[in-house]
Amino acid sequence: MNRAKHIAIIMDGNGRWAELQGKKRVKGHEAGAKVVKNITTYCSNSKDIERLTLYAFSTENWKRPRLEVEFLMKLLEKYLKNELPVYLENNVRFEPIGDIRAFSKSLQKTIKMVEEKTAHCDGLVQSLALNYGSQNEIIRAVNSLKNTKEDITETMLSNALDCKHDVDLLIRTGGDHRLSNYLLWQAAYAELFFTDALWPDFTPSDLEKIIKKFNKVERRFGGLK
């Protein structure tokens, strides 16, 4: 039976969820933040799940309306400060991925603070992909290796990436069927699951059902078995 040791999720549908209820898009992001807490807590209590990587803010999300981007930055900082006790209580280590240099000094400080204060936790590792795009990640990794005199190997490139762990199970909520520049290298042999549920409606029960389906998949990794 498979083990979903590393689960990655594209958390899509916050804005649409709010619009369907006649609310401002920001209300969807607030509801989505609560789901992040619920899903992270569920995963922290699983003996099989070791890593949970969540697509929180992409390199392309800067194209959104300025007020929405500003709200997302404030929401992220508030979320991290509020969730620090939850991380510690559930023995969750926080490891951000992405290029956070584009964020405000205050937000960068909060991100690093939570990372440092949870560094001793040895349970679930939760990564938020922040100002993250897989193409950007790969380019930065290649640039870090460009002065290497030997031929670059898969292992060398993998170790130079923000996320150094292969994904077992990649889930996208919201009904779309694309990867949106997310963990393209790490998800080379991930099992992909798509659900029409918008992220604020996604529950631990939904995740559990997907994991049960994943457990039954025959993973061949390019071979016959």
Is 196 marked active-site?
no
CATH of domain 6-215: 3.40.1180.10
Distance of CA 47 to the CA centre of its chain: 19
Active-site residue identified among 12, 14, 162, 168: 12
Active-site residue identified among 14, 38, 45, 61: 61
Instruction: Show pLDDT as tens, one digit a residue, over the chain (225 residues).
Output: 789 999 999 999 999 999 999 999 999 999 999 999 999 999 999 999 999 999 999 999 999 999 999 999 999 999 999 999 999 999 999 999 999 999 999 999 999 999 999 999 999 999 999 999 999 999 999 999 998 989 999 999 999 999 999 999 999 999 999 999 999 999 999 999 999 999 999 999 999 999 999 999 877 777 655
Q: Where are the alpha helices (DSSP H) in the chain?
A: 14-20, 25-44, 66-89, 105-117, 134-145, 154-160, 204-215
Is 12 marked active-site?
yes
Considering the entire predicted model, what is its pTM? 0.95
- Report the interhelical angle of 25-44 vs 66-89 (nearest 10°): 20
% the chain with pLDDT above 70: 99
Element (H, E) at 54: strand 51-58
Q: Where are the domains of the chain?
A: 6-215
